[in-house]
Amino acid sequence: MTSKINKIEKLISSKVTFLGAGPMSRTVIDEVIRIANKIKKPIALIPSRRQIECEQLGGGYVENWTTEEFASYVQRYDIGGFVVLSRDHCGPFQITPKNSDENTPDLLTEMNQVKVSLQSDIESGFEIIHIDPSLALKHGYTQDKIREIALELITFCESVKPNYLTYEIGTEEQEHLSKSIAQSQFELNEILLGLQELKLPRPRFFVQQTGTKVQELRNVGSFDNELDSKGVLPSSVQVPLILKICQQEGIWLKEHNADYLSDNALTWHKRFGIHSANVAPEFGVIETGALLKLLNQRLNQAISRFDEPLCLSVVCKLNGEVKRTLFNLRNSSLKIISTL
């Protein structure tokens, strides 16, 4: 077991939720490194394959970085060794959307690409791998096949890993409601049985629905909803039962989609003892909002330097007539000054 995993275990044992932060930009990455080293607590950076991908598969959209470049950057600036490289959502069909049956790659092609990506992750120093074949469900594969894919990917990782590797497993799609306790128990038992038969290591994290779901700029899940969802146990009952199942197996519960939760909901994470949670798009939205606010301030400062009204002339067609419109940027007044 690595020193970083020991740090995570120590954090979780103190009933602090281990954060996985999406690397939405270089700014977010830099802040995660800075904060983790300041508070001397582990924080994971959790790139998806779209965000960060190996050079052989074309790289990702965050800074146009490859897996190798991203890992090297983090390792260079993470002086205290508190940032954990953790691959998020690694599985088939995570990059290629299903547009039509003709354009959908076959499973063998997808699996070969996933293995190329995984090998790069492992060689670059990633310590946690989220095995997530759930999108294959949308391509007509059964839940039994999903588990089979997960076992194949872990077998591959074990064949190429140089050192200790930690696994996070999720084999179902994210929804806004928690699954039933019976479903959660069955799925975990099936995964653990398959791993045992193949003499593969047990996962440290088990992804389960806690009732969180991001939609646009809010969390629409049942976790932060005062109204209980019909036919589903409220989170105050459901989450402790899921945690009990995980604890009986010595596994940590991983929650996804923890963005935009209220302070009260976050407080309950510690009360429940939720082991780990991921936050990603909210960080990108916060940074974008800050940049837009700064841009607006700079624009207003530039406008205020002019003594005369600073105007924008726009030519448009209104009621069949072409008109020139003058827009005063200082006081937002609008005046039609001529008809062409």
**pLDDT at residue 233, as a whole number:** 60
**pLDDT at residue 176, as a whole number:** 45
Do 191 and 262 have their domain in common? yes
User: Tens digits of per-residue pLDDT, 175-208?
Assistant: 545 567 888 899 999 999 999 999 999 999 999 8
Do 87 and 181 have their domain in common? yes
Do 115 and 235 have their domain in common? yes
Starting at the edge strand that comes first in sequence, how are the strands of the sheet with 334-339 ordered?
A: 311-318, 321-328, 334-339
Residue 181 belongs to domain spanning: 3-288
**pLDDT at residue 219, as a whole number:** 78
**pLDDT at residue 277, as a whole number:** 96
Block means of pLDDT (10 residues each) for the chain, length 340 residues? 87 96 97 98 97 96 97 98 97 72 79 97 97 93 95 96 89 59 89 97 92 80 64 74 94 94 92 95 93 86 66 59 58 50
Do 263 and 330 have their domain in common? no
**pLDDT at residue 2, as a whole number:** 72
User: Tens digits of per-residue pLDDT, 156-175?
Assistant: 999 998 878 999 998 766 55
Do 88 and 213 have their domain in common? yes
What is the C-alpha to C-alpha distance for residues 148 and 133, in angstroms, rounded to an integer?
A: 9
**pLDDT at residue 285, as a whole number:** 93
Contacting residues for 203 by C-beta, under 8 A, at least 6 apart:
131, 166, 167, 168, 169, 191, 195, 251
**pLDDT at residue 1, as a whole number:** 58
Pairing of strands 218-219, 214-215: antiparallel
Which residues is 324 bridged to in the sheet? 315, 338
Do 235 and 325 have their domain in common? no
Residue 32 · residue 21 · CB < 8 Å: yes
Do 123 and 255 have their domain in common? yes
Work out the percent of the chain whose per-residue pLDDT is above 90.
65
Distance of CA 219 to the CA centre of its chain: 14
**pLDDT at residue 47, as a whole number:** 98
**pLDDT at residue 173, as a whole number:** 63
**pLDDT at residue 248, as a whole number:** 94
Count of structural domains within the chain: 2
Which residues is 279 bridged to in the sheet? 21
Do 96 and 208 have their domain in common? yes
What is the C-alpha to C-alpha distance for residues 139 and 103, in angstroms, rounded to an integer?
A: 12
Q: Does the residue 297 lie in any domain?
A: no
* Token duo for residue 204: 């440290």
Q: Does the residue 334 lie in any domain?
A: yes
Q: Does the residue 298 lie in any domain?
A: no
Do 231 and 316 have their domain in common? no
Do 313 and 168 have their domain in common? no
**pLDDT at residue 300, as a whole number:** 80
Q: Does the residue 266 lie in any domain?
A: yes
Q: Does the residue 293 lie in any domain?
A: no
3-state secondary structure the chain: CCHHHHHHHHHHHCCCCEEEECCCCHHHHHHHHHHHHHHCCCEEECCCCCCCECHHHCCCCCCCCEHHHHHHHHHHHCCCCCEEEEEEEECCCCCCCCCCCCCCCCHHHHHHHHHHHHHHHHHHCCCEEEECCHHHHHHCCCHHHHHHHHHHHHHHHHHHCCCCCEEEECCCCCCCCCCCHHHHHHHHHHHHHHHHHCCCCCCCEEECCCCCCEECCEECCCCCCCCCCCCCCCHHHHHHHHHHHHHHCCCEEEECCCCCCCHHHHHHHHHHCCCEEEECHHHHHHHHHHHHHHHHHHHHHHHHCCCCCCEEEEEEEECCEEEEEEEECCCCCEEEEEEC
Do 270 and 313 have their domain in common? no
Do 144 and 41 have their domain in common? yes
- Provide the CATH number for the domain around residue 127: 3.20.20.70
Q: Does the residue 295 lie in any domain?
A: no
Q: Does the residue 258 lie in any domain?
A: yes
Work out the percent of the chain whose per-residue pLDDT is above 70.
81
Q: Does the residue 225 lie in any domain?
A: yes
